[in-house]
Chains A and B, each alone.
Chain A
């Protein structure tokens, strides 16, 4: 650490004369120390704990029947949710940007509510409405549809939790989109749907992909709402994060670490691709 500080000391002196270097170093040092202690160190322990007995043990830890089915459930439900979000999120953003209707301002403000409401509360809310003994839930159960303590409940919870991502990613891009091209397409006789597909969709695709990746990453790690809604039956409705929780509770630290590493790697890859995508868009916009 000390050598790097002296290294950058010389460059800092050369480039930014108006700043007091020592203040800067202490800030830089504080930033590094805080993130190292709060983020890097915990991450290191989990990787060490999961891989301590070698890769083969790690692999068997994540591929045992319960772990694998939990992982499969998490990935498939996240994928389903992401697809629904892509459709409904784009539609909601489109309606919010292009149409006027009474209460639109309020609706727009309430879209962020799922980000503000604790995820556990979201779970409680869904059980209160769709639970087997409750109003809507009782009616659904009578018609043979089981939502809570079953897979549809997991998908429903994830849909609520990730509701704003695609909307908030697509909305600003749609707002900046010029109407001229669309009008031209109408004038040439294209239907609304064709216009949307051929003119609007290509422009919003990068934002849409960003929103989708974020909802997928968020879905992979979701715990608070699912633990209430899913029923957590091993092999049936037990998701990967809830599996990790179970392993911690039963003192199986290695198993918990192994699954954690896998989940971490997955969502970190997603977050990095989002950064990369956003960086690429920014530079492309700058070129224009």
Chain B
């Protein structure tokens, strides 16, 4: 009966090879913990439950945790000192600096315009709102490579706007402005999509009250609206920054990849892989993964404060 039950539970799954070993281990574990389940379900389902938990954890570990440990291992393959040396090379340092500057600038720009667009989408009602709403989603539908390519079509040798930028003496593509534009594009929707639902829940009454007392619109926004949306905003900002730090496709197309000038950290990894400098690639990958890990922790603590569940 026990076995029959567990096999029906595991029916829709593929990883049958692991099940036998794991379930016997898990069974003794369950016995030790005894019937601590307050769920009030029949005792016979315990085994099936443990098999399911094991499958889920093994799947996640082989997809995420294993590979994550492998790059740390790969970075330290030739010793801690070699990894540090790779990371403190001028190329690595300048690439990391460029990445952080670009990500921070893109985040600031997208935050300012994002709040503005979110406000227009939520509070304003006019004929073009649906178009605006559709445009906001486009960067998520566009492959990053295509995003970079669009900038080349606009500012490249025969681009639509090249005559204008040439006249102004600006170099966009294969230079820093191109990287910034690409980063802005791919991280554009986050702030809007996080702020809009929060803003929709903020009652207009408080803003009206502030206005009635004599505050101007800017004061009202600063003292009433902004505090109300701050956690949603912070959440959107973290997501924007995380996405901006990790961008490769768009930046690869647009940057020209001149070492120490237009090479971001992801491009540094890309070039290191080409040069078979695996320690350098792995070490920088660990640094970027570390940055994303910190951002993720920040996001988690924000989530706890708001209990705001995210629906993609």
Interface residue ranges, A against B (CB under 8 Å): 4, 8, 11-12, 15, 18-20, 23-24, 27-28, 30-32, 34-36, 38-43, 45-46, 49, 87-88, 91-92, 94-96, 99-101, 107, 109-122, 124-126, 128-130, 134-136, 156, 159-160, 163, 165, 168-169, 172, 186, 191-193, 210-211, 214, 217, 220-224, 227-228, 241-242, 244-245, 248, 253, 256-257, 260, 263-264, 267-268, 270-272, 275, 278
**Residues A260 and B146 in contact in the complex (CB < 8 Å), given A101-B53, A136-B66, A160-B64:** yes
Contacts of A20 in B (CB 8 A): 217
| Chain B residue at minimal CB-CB distance from A269 | B141
B116 near A271: Cβ-Cβ < 8 Å: no
Contacts of A244 in B (CB 8 A): 143, 145-146, 149
A101 to B29, CA, bound (A): 11
A267 to B13, CA, bound (A): 28
Contacts of A241 in B (CB 8 A): 143-146, 249
A128 to B299, CA, bound (A): 28
Contact of B281 among A34, A46, A124 (CB under 8 A): A124
A4 to B115, CA, bound (A): 23
Contacts of B132 in A (CB 8 A): 31-32, 35
Contact of B67 among A125, A211, A271 (CB under 8 A): A125
A15 to B123, CA, bound (A): 12
Contact of B71 among A23, A121, A156 (CB under 8 A): A121
Contact of A224 among B14, B117, B249, B310 (CB under 8 A): B249
Closest 6 pairs between A and B when the two form their complex, measured CB to CB: A118-B246, A221-B143, A125-B67, A42-B150, A129-B70, A116-B292
Separation in Å of the B67 CB from the closest CB of chain A? 3
Contact of B66 among A38, A129, A223 (CB under 8 A): A129
Interface stretch of the complex, out of B90-98, B225-233, B265-273: B265-273
Interface stretch of the complex, out of B3-11, B16-24, B79-87, B163-171: B3-11
Contact of A119 among B5, B13, B14, B248 (CB under 8 A): B248
What secondary structure prevails in chain B residues at the interface with A?
A: helix
| Chain A residue at minimal CB-CB distance from B55 | A91
Interface size, B (range): 35 or more
Separation in Å of the A215 CB from the closest CB of chain B? 10
Contact of B142 among A19, A165, A210, A264 (CB under 8 A): A264
Contacts of A125 in B (CB 8 A): 67-68, 70-71, 285, 289
A256 near B295: Cβ-Cβ < 8 Å: no
A253 to B156, CA, bound (A): 11
**Residues A117 and B246 in contact in the complex (CB < 8 Å), given A214-B312, A223-B144:** yes
Extra 17 A-B pairs, beta carbons < 8 Å, given A121-B246, A134-B74: A92-B56, A92-B60, A99-B53, A113-B68, A118-B245, A118-B266, A121-B292, A124-B285, A125-B67, A125-B285, A135-B73, A165-B312, A193-B9, A227-B270, A241-B144, A241-B249, A245-B253
Question: B172 near A: Cβ within 8 Å?
Answer: no
A32 to B117, CA, bound (A): 8
A275 to B138, CA, bound (A): 12
Interface string of B122-145 (1 = CB under 8 A from A): 001111100010111111111111
A45 near B144: Cβ-Cβ < 8 Å: no
What secondary structure prevails in chain A residues at the interface with B?
A: helix
Question: B176 near A: Cβ within 8 Å?
Answer: no
What are 5 A-B pairs at a CB distance below 8 A? A43-B138, A116-B292, A117-B292, A160-B64, A271-B137
Contacts of A160 in B (CB 8 A): 63-64, 67
Most chain A Cβ neighbours within 10 Å, of B142, B144, B152, B253: B142
A160 to B71, CA, bound (A): 15
Interface string of B235-275 (1 = CB under 8 A from A): 00001001001111100110000000000001001100100
Contact residues of B between 72 and 115, Cβ < 8 Å to A: 73-74, 113
Contact of A192 among B45, B63, B208, B253 (CB under 8 A): B45
Question: B175 near A: Cβ within 8 Å?
Answer: no
A172 to B307, CA, bound (A): 12
Contact of A107 among B60, B143, B149, B312 (CB under 8 A): B60
**Residues A114 and B71 in contact in the complex (CB < 8 Å), given A49-B153, A92-B59:** no
Question: B311 near A: Cβ within 8 Å?
Answer: yes
Question: B224 near A: Cβ within 8 Å?
Answer: no
Question: B174 near A: Cβ within 8 Å?
Answer: no
A114 to B124, CA, bound (A): 35
| Chain B residue at minimal CB-CB distance from A175 | B309
B248 near A223: Cβ-Cβ < 8 Å: yes
| Chain A residue at minimal CB-CB distance from B152 | A248
